[in-house]
């Protein structure tokens, strides 16, 4: 489905369908950031309450973890939104005239 990290192929390898008609936009990014917040924030709070490290430890640990979590979740979320858009024939809104 992807030709690069987050770039969709122009055509499907299996059925030769045109994949340029669907545009996921920034929806996947929003959901990934929300999921990362739900996963990382409680972990950081538990770490703070149990270990009580200095602030610089948090600065060293949590940004790389957040980046890794977001980078791992972004392709599946983007593929899922693309599949939903494809399945329901979602497209640009049009006014009936």
pTM assigned to the model: 0.82
Q: Are 48 and 85 in contact (CB under 8 A)?
A: no
Q: What is the pLDDT of residue 68?
A: 96
Q: What is the dihedral of CA 28, 73, 19, 24, to 10 degrees?
A: 0
Q: Which residues in the chain land under pLDDT 50?
A: none
Q: What is the pLDDT of residue 31?
A: 94
Q: What angle (nearest 5°) sits at the alpha carbon of residue 94, between those of residues 93 and 97?
A: 160
pLDDT in tens, 32-60: 999 999 999 999 999 999 999 999 999 99
């Amino acid at each position: 489905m992807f030709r690069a990290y987050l770039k969709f192929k122009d055509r499907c390898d299996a059925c030769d369908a045109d994949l340029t008609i669907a545009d996921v936009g920034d929806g996947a990014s929003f959901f990934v950031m929300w999921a990362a917040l739900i996963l990382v924030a409680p972990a950081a709070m538990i770490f703070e309450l149990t270990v009580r490290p200095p602030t610089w430890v948090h600065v060293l640990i949590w940004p790389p973890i957040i980046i890794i979590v977001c980078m791992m979740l972004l392709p599946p979320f983007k593929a899922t939104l693309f599949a939903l858009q494809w399945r329901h024939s979602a497209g640009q809104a049009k006014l009936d005239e």
